[in-house]
Amino acid sequence: MHFLQELSEHLGIRLLNERLQDPTMQESLESIFPKDNPKNTRFAINFFTSIGLGGITENLREYLKNMPSLIMQRQKQVAESESGSSSGSDSSDSESESESGSSSSSSSDESDREKRKRRRRS
């Protein structure tokens, strides 16, 4: 991450942060600034802060702060879509579906990343 330290010295932390937030850069930077789970997000925040680049983690900090509400919104959307598609299921089925839905979404995120990596290599 030495290159980010040099960039911050030359551009300044504010301009570097603006450039890192560029929508065209997000796919390339998702492994450096992970939003896949809170543990990885916290690790990235702590790492960049420890090397003096805490200013570029503002977006991650905001995401981490809002993560509980984002999770609740997703669960609500899943519950609404399940209730609309299957009216005859009992509550134990919907609980197991929501639990498996959270793990399948993380595995689908992983498979999406693998597909993107393969495309980049080609």
- φ/ψ of 33, rounded to 5, equals -120, 75
| Residue 59 neighbours by CB distance under 10 Å | 14
Q: How far apart are CA 29 and CA 59, in angstroms?
A: 12
| Averaged confidence pLDDT in the chain | 77
Q: Please report where in the chains the tokens 């595995």 appear, as a residue.
A: 107
List pLDDT tens digits, range 61-91. 999 888 888 778 888 888 888 887 654 444 4
pTM of the model: 0.57
For the chain, the distance separating the N- and C-terminal CA atoms, rounded to the nearest angstrom, is: 26
Nearest to 36 by CA among 110, 116, 121: 110
Q: How far apart are CA 53 and CA 66, in angstroms?
A: 22
